[in-house]
Chain A
Amino acid sequence: MKTMKWLIKRELWENKGSLVWAPAVIAGLLGVLAMAAIFFGRHVQFNEAGQAMSVGTITIEGAMRSRIAETMSQAYVASAMPVFMILGLLVFFYCLGALHDERADRSLLFWKSLPVSDLTTVLSKVVTAVVVAPLITLGIGIALSLLILLAACGLLLAHGTNLFGAILSSPDFYLTPLRLVGLLPVYILWALPTVGWLLMVSSLARSKVFLWAVGTPVVTSLLLLWAEKALNFGLDAGWFVSSVVNRILLGVVPGSWLAFSKDTISLPHEEHKLALPDAIFSASWSTLGGISVWLGVVAGVAMIAVAVWMRRRREEG
């Protein structure tokens, strides 16, 4: 456990730029843009029931006021969506480099001179990819959205509409970030095939890791497509793309599970009068009821095992 802690610290030292600074800088830029829009923009509008209202001109009261407070307390984290989306990119490139960079710069020999097993090392990289990196990004994203919410409420207050009490007393305000954190297990399970694939390629490829990681599945798809169309083989290239290629390349994108399971999962918040965040949360967890996620987990674990084996056995010149 102590070793794992230091291995994860090690990953953060090496990848501080991409895992911490990249989301922080993007959040900072979004924050600046949002602030500029809130304080200098004249047309901050709420579209409610098809009726546009400019907050600068009216004071919101009554039912409308509580409706707005409810929406804001449920959906404020959406303002940090770009930060969450960047997570997929960060994890993708982190995994690609994880087992390749140490071979490229020969520091592998140094790490191997310490009493740390290959299994522990590779697991520390998996944990960094699917737990540490998402938690950092979530923390930064939630901080940003709180800031934007605060600024928006401050602006409304300046125009005579005080939403602070309503929002702070709404359970959703506290539950929404918790729901995001609660989606982490779903993220981990859906990300495993991609993380496994990328770590495996990272441990196998001598160079051009990105080309191998992306090129192999894309070229395979094209070949299958060609075989299907030109040779009339009974192959289903579309199935291959959707259940293999997408899963091993896009699984690290947050929310990918909703796209992967769109045939079986719907978001029934409209008809059930369920709030959207709640609906996304339960729909996400219900994707774990299907077989496809678990097949991906098995494949991911198998590919991680290959990566461990490669790190153990591979020799560098």
Chain B
Amino acid sequence: MSAIITASNLNKRYGKKPALDGASFTVEAGRIVGLIGPNGSGKTTTLKAILGLTQFDGELSVLGMDPRTQREALMNEVCFIADVAILPRWLKVKDAIAFVEGVHPRFDRSKAEKYLANTKLSPDMKVKAMSKGMVVQLHLALVMAIDAKLLVLDEPTLGLDILYRKQFYQNLLEDYFDENKTILITTHQIEEVEHILTDLMFIQDGKISLAASMDEVGERFTEVMVEPEFIAAANALQPLSQRTVFGKAIMLFDGVHRTQLSNFGELRTPSVADLFVATMKGTYA
């Protein structure tokens, strides 16, 4: 496995406010990485930097290229869906396919048509006549037909109903993803992506605060339903967070061995959402 993206010490300011403050990370090939952070933490700026849509300081290599200077070559290998509303309203389904086929060397029309056959979209339909969900289906059809090495998704399912959201990720996983492809996703709907992610990156105040594979996350973080008599002992191990459910204290520990914690009560692996809330504590305070 080799690194698809290597970023070191990325910096970017909008006025006085830093959007990226020394962010460093790597993304390996064949992974599905969730880049997760609160609003204004630098998620979108990171994606824009990777896609060459913004200027920044620091070193960034995407597929061996610098997105600042080799954008056009990079776009042969990279696809992205920014959020739902970026297909122009006047575009027809058949024109969208013809255009992408015309300008993209790695586009396979039959794949797009095969995918569209399972939707309600017809060739003469214009984007302005589509629901949000249908627009995303069209965009996904275009993107899935491109044999790209990296797919970047920025809140791809924003504003879609649960049926479209489930279907979106299912299509992505079943019909698109393979070991030669890498997907980088940002979303606030963590619960819906956590089962498809292989890697997790948390971003906070322009810095990467956590970068680990899901397996490592499972090993490192443990949640314990602490029995009342052990609360003091458990607190001594400095839990990341503590909440109370049905009168029982639930504590989240980072890097404490499971055998040690199992004395306090029932163990479980925390959800990404719980982990996120615990690590981002105080963000808006």
Contact = CB atoms under 8 A, between A and B. Distances in A.
Q: Do A and B bind each other?
A: yes
Interface of A: 2-3, 5-7, 9-10, 13-14, 102, 105-110, 112-117, 313, 315
A131 to B, nearest CB: 19
Given A5-B102, A6-B102, A114 B90 contact: no
Interface range, B side: 20 to 34
A13 B48 contact: no
B55 interface: yes
Contacts of A313: 55
A112 B53 contact: yes
B91 A114 contact: no
A3 B53 contact: no
B73 A115 contact: yes
A3 B88 contact: no
A14 to B, nearest CB: 5
Contact of B105 (A9, A10, A108, A115): A115
B102 A2 contact: yes
Contact of B103 (A106, A108, A112, A115): A115
Contacts of A5: 102
14 contacts: A9-B98, A10-B95, A105-B85, A105-B89, A106-B85, A106-B86, A107-B87, A109-B53, A112-B75, A113-B80, A113-B81, A115-B73, A116-B72, A315-B53
Contacts of A106: 82, 85-86
B72 A115 contact: yes
A73 to B, nearest CB: 42
Contacts of A109: 53, 80, 82, 86
Nearest to B101: A6
Top 4 closest A-B pairs, CB basis?
Answer: A6-B102, A107-B88, A115-B75, A109-B82
A9 B99 contact: yes
Contacts, number: 72
- Interface hub of B53, B89, B99, B103 (most chain A Cβ within 10 A): B103
B214 interface: no
A2 B101 CA distance: 11
- Interface hub of B51, B55, B90, B91 (most chain A Cβ within 10 A): B90
Secondary structure dominating the interface of B: mixed
Contact of A6 (B54, B73, B86, B103): B103
Nearest to A316: B53
B257 to A, nearest CB: 46
B102 A102 contact: no
Contacts of A117: 71-72
B92 interface: yes
Nearest to A14: B90
Given A113-B80, A115-B103, 15 more contacts: A7-B103, A9-B99, A10-B95, A106-B82, A106-B86, A107-B88, A110-B139, A112-B51, A113-B75, A113-B78, A113-B79, A115-B72, A115-B73, A115-B75, A115-B76
B75 A14 contact: no
B100 interface: yes
B132 to A, nearest CB: 14
Contacts of A107: 86-88, 91
Contact of A13 (B82, B87, B95, B102): B95
Nearest to B85: A106
B104 interface: yes
A115 B72 CA distance: 5
Contacts of B90: 13-14
Nearest to B127: A107
A106 B78 CA distance: 19
Contacts of A113: 51, 75, 78-82
A106 B139 CA distance: 14
A298 to B, nearest CB: 27
B88 A116 contact: no
A110 B48 contact: no
B87 A110 contact: yes
